[in-house]
Structure 1
Amino acid sequence: MSAGPTASSREEERLARVALTRVLEPGDAVGGRWLREVGAAEVLRRLGTEEERLPGVSPRRWEGLRGRAATARPERDLAAAEDVGARFVCPGDAEWPVTLDDLGDARPVGLWVRGRPSLRMWALRSVAVVGARACTQYGAHMAATVAAGLAERGWVVVSGGAYGVDGAAHRGALGSGGATVAVLACGIDQSYPRGHAELIGRIAEQGLVVGELPPGDHPTPSRFILRNRLIAALTRGTVVVEAAYRSGALATARGARELGRFTMGVPGPATSALSAGVHELLRGDGVLVTDAAEIVELVGDMGELAPARRGPVVPRDLLTPGVQRVLAALPARGRAAPGDVAIGAGTTVDDAVGRLYELQSLGFVERHGDGWQLTRQALPPDFAGADEW
């Protein structure tokens, strides 16, 4: 029987993964296949020798990767991460979120994690809230409200730390004393966007800041798009609050759907271009949600149901069916004799009279001689002649 991996071999594999975060771009499925087939240490060794290149890349691409590998200094990156209170988490670690394995060969080489909580534990009960950077006041309000509601129910809010909806979602969760995770498209020691330096610092203190790129690395447009797959894979579902037709938030929702996660959207005005992408999502597989309770009903455990939705209860709603029929038999204008009311209600005169007196005690009708008429409060709100009473 063969012995399992030794502590030294595990550490070698781990250090190789640290180095490869500087070599392989996020989401590189070819590199992911190499890691699966031969392991990180062997990939790094091959990149440092003149041996035959690994399959799936051109000679030019292989030379580019070799150039990156030559400059990788994993010990230096680990020290830089430690300086900002960060750590490296990779597949096989107790903290590794197994939901990321759903990405297959496109899963991260490893993650740089800044903050005290366990990423794996937080990912188990998390929801992504994403949307437009240039959001409207409505979008910011809805993102913050939804995030606060999720946080109050014990859910972790995951977003991308960007301006607009992302920032509002993070602030909503933090403002409720809840948990939030910012997934960055740059090194976890960087603050991007710069205007969110204070917010990202606060998230690192109270929650988690996560990224695939090593300390000091910078974001690029492609890295933002690839970052979205992490947000989708980490969480149980993705909620989109405001997104135009061409939006990275919709890419997150598509990624969530492909991974079998829930995709949800908060509707906006039909005339708003910033909600057009959300509405398109809702016309497809997306589920319309308006608050945290509806989100939790979808992604939560059995029994976590949203409250029943209904309009305000008016006094008429509290009447029994028989009394409602008598009330409906009275004309909107003028008076009616008990016999006419009985015919209209489909009952006997004695029953109609008894119910009319009940309605009188409740303030719905008045008696004038031998006739009965509605009081002003009994008239429907939209009755055209209400002002004549």
Structure 2
Amino acid sequence: MPRAPAAGVEWGGAVDELTARAALTRVLEPGEEHGGRWLRRFGAEELVRLLRDPDAAGGALTGVGPDRLAGYRRRAAAAEPGRDLAAVAAVGGRFVTPGGPEWPSQLDDLGDARPVGLWLRGPHDLRTWALRSVALVGARACTPYGAHMATTLAAGLAERGWVVVSGAAYGIDAAVHRGVLAAEGATAAVLACGVDTSYPRGHDGLLRRIATQGLVVGELPPGSHPTPSRFVLRNRVIAALTRGTVVVEAAYRSGSLVTARAAQRLGRHTMGVPGPATSGLSAGVHELIRGGAVLVTDAAEVAEQVGAMGELAPGRRGPVVARDLLHPAAARVLEALPAGRPAGVRELALGAGTSTDEVIGRLYELHSLGFVERQGDDWRLTTPADDAAGQSAGPRRGGP
């Protein structure tokens, strides 16, 4: 996967694709489609050159007024991608770009509104995790019922081997992430700010925990702060990244409905958890269900919906790559799994010689690739009877 260059990277001469796209995250706001059209037409390196050299641009950068274009030029002149790449590396992060090995190809469904790139924190592979992911979102000012449903759904999906994605906000989002972490599952938080910025501040500890056990994802460079428009635009990434979106509680004007409607436009599954008919915080969910979203009440019903969707998953079931092509850390965890019986995370951490957080992340990667499955709090190897397709996808445990 693309990694940040050293802190001393120069900026001003020729740049590569990754550095150019890192710079453009300082220039373009998330979801700006005219910027996406420029990228499609010129490529990142040429677009940076056009923005930094007014004489070279001529009339090439069309679709915006002169004042806005002048603003982009000022941002491009002030951008320091080397500093941003070094800053994200300092917190254990990285920057990934379209076409790279860690880029989830389903984000390309956003067309010209596709992210320029993604800033990540966390040790796990975003592309692999996104193969079996579902979004759970809802109101910030949630009720105890909503928080209970969010926690229960999140934990249940984690126990079924699903990566659960949310936005790390107060209320439903926080309940989702905590439910997954308590179940020793895999969760990703998609932020409307820099991945090194704790927002809301009260979630500093939660975000640190997610960055250790899961993934923190954002379009904006380090140090960036959220705005109302960035929250709205962030939701399209949550919708595109996952196989389906579940709304737990939402009023009529909730931002969670933006995520659900984006999922509908993208052809993803859209689901809603019903609440009391008299609750204003369930009114938006009920309207969503009336408009065609599927009513769900537990994790099994969610898994039934998203599990049938094949557009984002590999064309065959079972391992996507042969066992000998696994990441070395994932291979060690797979080796630590005993044949014929399930094993707990702590036993596997001891056997693999690594931390429980590392084991949890690798188990979810292995689950996405068909090597293992979760059984309560434990994990076991997928048997040939359970996963016949895996026999032809690559060597299995004990094979030659």
Is the shorter-chain TM-score for this pair beyond 0.5, marking a shared fold? yes
Mapping 1:227-266, distance limit 5 Å:
227-266=234-273
Could you say which residue in structure 2 is the equivalent of 1:112? 119
Residue 100 (structure 2) pairs with residue 73 (structure 1): no
**1:34 aligns with one of 21, 38, 60:** 38
Local SS of the residue matching 2:161: coil
Could you say which residue in structure 2 is the equivalent of 1:123? 130
Could you say which residue in structure 2 is the equivalent of 1:25? 29
Choose between structure 1 and 2 for higher RCO, CA contacts under 8 A separated by at least 6 residues.
2
Deviating 4+ runs (over 3 angstroms): none
Residue 59 (structure 2) pairs with residue 55 (structure 1): no
Task: Tell me the CA shift for residue 285 of structure 1.
Answer: 1.4
Identity of aligned residues (%): 72
Q: Partner letter of residue 102 of structure 1?
A: D
Cα distance in 2 between the residues matched to 1:14 and 1:142: 41
Q: Partner letter of residue 225 of structure 1?
A: V
Q: Is the 8 A contact 2:130 2:242 kept in 1?
A: yes
Structure 1 residue runs of 5 or longer lacking an equivalent are 1-8, 303-389
Could you say which residue in structure 1 is the equivalent of 2:365? none
**1:158 aligns with one of 146, 160, 165:** 165
- Structure 1, 46-55 or 221-230: larger mean CA deviation: 46-55
**1:180 aligns with one of 149, 172, 187:** 187
**2:298 aligns with one of 291, 301, 304:** 291
Task: Tell me the CA shift for residue 89 of structure 1.
Answer: 0.3
Cα distance in 1 between the residues matched to 2:299 and 2:275: 16
Task: Tell me the CA shift for residue 92 of structure 1.
Answer: 1.3
Cα distance in 2 between the residues matched to 1:50 and 1:19: 17
Please tell me whether Structure 1 or Structure 2 has the larger radius of gyration of its CA atoms.
1
**1:98 aligns with one of 88, 100, 105:** 105
Q: Partner letter of residue 24 of structure 2?
A: L
Change (3 A) 1:243 1:10: farther
Change (3 A) 1:96 1:10: farther
Task: Tell me the CA shift for residue 301 of structure 1.
Answer: 4.1
Per-residue deviation, residues 334-359 of structure 1 (Å, max 9, x unmatched): xxxxxxxxxxxxxxxxxxxxxxxxxx
Change (3 A) 1:181 1:189: same
Could you say which residue in structure 2 is the equivalent of 1:349? none
Task: Tell me the CA shift for residue 49 of structure 1.
Answer: 1.2
Cα distance in 2 between the residues matched to 1:222 and 1:245: 18
Could you say which residue in structure 1 is the equivalent of 2:373? none
Structure 2 residue runs of 5 or longer lacking an equivalent are 1-12, 310-400
Cα distance in 2 between the residues matched to 1:13 and 1:246: 39
**2:283 aligns with one of 258, 262, 276:** 276
Q: TM-score, normalised by structure 1?
A: 0.75
Q: Partner letter of residue 273 of structure 2?
A: V
RMSD: 1.5
Q: TM-score, normalised by structure 2?
A: 0.73
Local SS of the residue matching 1:22: helix
Q: Partner letter of residue 195 of structure 2?
A: I
Cα distance in 2 between the residues matched to 1:24 and 1:233: 20
